[in-house]
Amino acid sequence: MKHAIIEKPAEFFKKEPALKHYDSAYANFSWEDYRKEIDWLEEGKLNAGHEATRHCSDKTAIMWEGADGRKKTCSFNKVNAESNKFANALRGLGVQKGERVFLFLPRVPQVHYSFLGTLKAGAIAGTLFSAFGLDALKDRIGHSEASVVVTDTNLKKRIDEVCGNMQVCKDMPALKHVILVDAEDDAGDALSYNKLVGKQSPEFKPEPMGKDDYAFMLYTSGTTGKPKGIVHAHGGIIQQKLSARWVLDLKQDDVYWCTADHGWVTGISYGILGPLANRVPLVLYDGRFDAEKWYSIIQEYKVSVWYTAPTAIRMLMKAGDELPAKHDLSSLRLLYSVGEPLNPEAVEWGLKVFNKPFHDTWWQTETGSILIANYPCLPIKPGSMGKPFPGIKAAIIDDEGRELPANQEGNLAIKPPWPSILRTVWANKEKYEGYFLKEWFTTGDRALCDDDGYYWFIGRADDVIKTSGERVGPFEVESALVEHEAIAEAGVIGKPDMMRGEIIKAFITLKDGYKHTPELDEDIQKFVKKNLAGHAYPREIEVVDSLPKTSSGKIMRRVLKAKELGLAIGDTSTLEN
């Protein structure tokens, strides 16, 4: 079905957009012009944590609400002071430039304080979903050789379960300090955040960092092997700051709500760095999704710019058009989406219910910030990713790196460099080099570009599963599954789903003595949730006699997927059985 282009009259957005004329901005753009906005600490040196907190004032920076209804408001002065205190605490613990400090926390203000303080101290911040289980923690904290973990009493139990009662944790051998944000006193092997940080000075001179010096890292899943640590540098703040202004159109009198968790790159680039660097107040909500509650948050905090995920939008659609009508949502002026393709119906639903369309944005953990987007100043083609950000050269290329003409499907590629591009894959040079083909950064996405320069997502070129906006590697799930006592082998695919984009489906073979029952399925799901992550379990499980494999023993997921979806299986010349 063809969807009408949405032309947007000025009254949709209440204010003139910061990026007024896309074509001229794109044609005349230079990153050098926007380096001038950064507070360079000395020649060629900056600090992303400092850049996000240097605009000190009593103006509200964070409006936090917990799942239990507790509320807290923090000023820009407080965010600066608390992050300085944390940086001083790290120095007091002997943490050196380049050491890894991981945050394993729910959505609480201490995430912002400790993340920014880590950057100010010159250490590398890593963020983890609070849903992560034992194997996920081992793979990330252990592989990164993190020396400090900031967590809470409840989540620490998982770290204890990984480490046992050992003085030195064999799965996290570099870990020296665990800091608890909800403990008033030191407890055993853990330090109290309040005692440690509370006594520190609120003054701190940020560590001058080169634009390519490492700032933060996130582990992202692939189709093979363990998750890979994508590392970003301090220089990325230039692009995170500008894109928050030009794409999200953040202004200092806005109230901004990014619903992404800090364990996801969106929660870092546009939940911490981008908005704070632009001096924009943000909402931080620690509860689960609930349509009624979400509308109440928009109403209570007068949210004006809202950045969320397609899965959440579809869940809001499912909750009905009557529910938003019961709330005063008149504060909203711009709606955005990220994480997976946004279907045209969702764009048009926003227009019907809020009198504003959702603007889809495209980027990846590896890109560090938005690279292709729908802008307030441009018409929307529902279902399109939009157009490249000024300073970004995007193209559709073939497998040899040659550019393809308009309207021809191929590999979506970006020409490096740009300020927020990944700088390395932690301890895996081969993986890092694998992103590049000739002069291109290859995204792993298939797409096409139309005659008007709008890009359209076709699908992934690999087996990575996007479920509810989260990227899940099938190998990780398969590895977790085969650790279950009943499972001999496992193959995992992403299965299309109207609500979540994709769900995880597992095909398993059972060991002798086990029978397939609903109780076994439930036990397997609980097992994966505990050992991998709450969002990475298979919602569907099918027991099979054998799995399709190559002669070398590699499970052919594409065969499983083709059979599941009733598609042609294609070349099976390497199929063993």
Q: Which two tokens stand for residue 378?
A: 């441009």
Query: What pLDDT score does 535 carry?
Result: 87
Query: What pLDDT score does 554 carry?
Result: 65
Query: What pLDDT score does 573 carry?
Result: 33
Query: What pLDDT score does 574 carry?
Result: 36
Question: What pLDDT digit, counting tens, does each position of 355-410 carry?
Answer: 999 999 999 999 999 999 999 999 999 989 999 999 999 999 999 999 999 999 89
Question: What pLDDT digit, counting tens, does each position of 307-317 carry?
Answer: 999 878 988 99
Question: What pLDDT digit, counting tens, does each position of 508-540 carry?
Answer: 999 889 999 999 999 999 999 998 888 889 999
Residue 219: strand, helix, or coil: strand
Burial 442-457 (b: 16+ CB within 10 A, else e): bbbbbbbbeeeebbbb
Locate the domains of the chain by residue range.
10-14+43-384, 465-565
Region 265-284 average pLDDT: 98
Query: What pLDDT score does 553 carry?
Result: 57
**Candidates 3.40.1160.10, 1.10.510.10, 3.40.50.10890, 3.40.50.12780; CATH matching 10-14+43-384:** 3.40.50.12780
Question: What pLDDT digit, counting tens, does each position of 78-100 carry?
Answer: 999 999 999 999 999 999 999 99
Q: Which residues touch 323 (CB under 8 Å, ≥6 apart)?
A: 291, 292, 295
Q: Is 150 left (phi over 0), alpha (psi -120 to 50) or beta?
A: beta
Residue 181 vs residues 111, 114, 154, 197, 261: alpha-carbon distances, Å:
10, 10, 11, 10, 18
- What is the percent of the chain with per-residue pLDDT over 70, rounded to a whole number? 95
Taking the model in full, what pTM does it have?
0.86
* Amino acid code (one letter) for 403: E
Q: What is the DSSP string of 51-106?
A: HHH-S--SSEEEEEE-TTS-EEEEEHHHHHHHHHHHHHHHHHTTPPTT-EEEEE--
pLDDT bin (cut points 50, 70, 90) of residue 282 is: very high
User: For the packed helices 109-120 and 76-92, what is the interaxial angle rounded to 10 degrees?
Assistant: 60
Query: What pLDDT score does 570 carry?
Result: 53
Residue 421 vs residues 135, 359, 369: alpha-carbon distances, Å:
28, 23, 8
Q: Is the pLDDT of residue 63 over 50?
A: yes
Question: What pLDDT digit, counting tens, does each position of 182-195 carry?
Answer: 999 998 889 999 99
Question: What pLDDT digit, counting tens, does each position of 429-477 carry?
Answer: 999 999 999 999 999 988 999 999 999 987 777 777 888 877 787 877 8
Residue 411: strand, helix, or coil: strand
C-alpha neighbours within 13 Å on the C-beta side of residue 550? 9
Q: Is the pLDDT of residue 197 over 50?
A: yes
Q: Which two tokens stand for residue 189?
A: 């092997």
Query: What pLDDT score does 357 carry?
Result: 95
Q: Report the sign of the C-alpha dihedral through residues 327, 330, 331, 336, in that order.
A: positive
**What gap in Å lies between CA 152 and CA 399, rounded to an integer?**
47
Query: What pLDDT score does 499 carry?
Result: 86
**What gap in Å lies between CA 203 and CA 50, rounded to an integer?**
12
**What gap in Å lies between CA 258 and CA 411, rounded to an integer?**
29
**What gap in Å lies between CA 319 and CA 324, rounded to an integer?**
9
Q: Is the pLDDT of residue 552 over 80?
A: no
Q: Which residues touch 502 (CB under 8 Å, ≥6 apart)?
A: 465, 466, 467, 494, 495, 496
Residue 238 vs residues 37, 39, 119, 249, 544: alpha-carbon distances, Å:
8, 10, 15, 16, 51
**What gap in Å lies between CA 493 and CA 544, rounded to an integer?**
14
Q: Which two tokens stand for residue 530?
A: 């505990």
**What gap in Å lies between CA 479 and CA 490, rounded to an integer?**
8
**What gap in Å lies between CA 31 and CA 239, rounded to an integer?**
9
Question: What pLDDT digit, counting tens, does each position of 208-235 carry?
Answer: 999 999 999 999 876 667 889 999 999 9
Q: How many CB atoms lie within 10 A of CB 145?
A: 14
Query: What pLDDT score does 548 carry?
Result: 87
CATH code that applies to domain 465-565: 3.30.300.30
Q: Which residues touch 160 (CB under 8 Å, ≥6 apart)?
A: none
Q: Is the pLDDT of residue 165 over 80?
A: no
**What gap in Å lies between CA 420 and CA 126, rounded to an integer?**
16
Residue 572: strand, helix, or coil: coil
Question: What pLDDT digit, counting tens, does each position of 474-504 carry?
Answer: 877 887 898 899 998 889 999 989 888 899 9
Is-contact 146 104, C-beta < 8 A? no
Query: What pLDDT score does 474 carry?
Result: 83
Beta strand spans in 354-439 (E): 358-362, 372-373, 387-388, 394-397, 410-414, 424-425, 436-437
Q: Which two tokens stand for residue 192?
A: 């109290």
Beta strand spans in 474-558 (E): 487-497, 501-510, 540-543
Q: Is the pLDDT of residue 24 over 70?
A: yes
**What gap in Å lies between CA 427 and CA 362, rounded to an integer?**
27
pLDDT bin (cut points 50, 70, 90) of residue 576 is: very low
Q: Which residues pair with 253 in a beta bridge?
A: none
Domain 10-14+43-384 and domain 465-565, same fold? Reply is no
By DSSP bridging, strand 148-151 and strand 228-233 are: unpaired
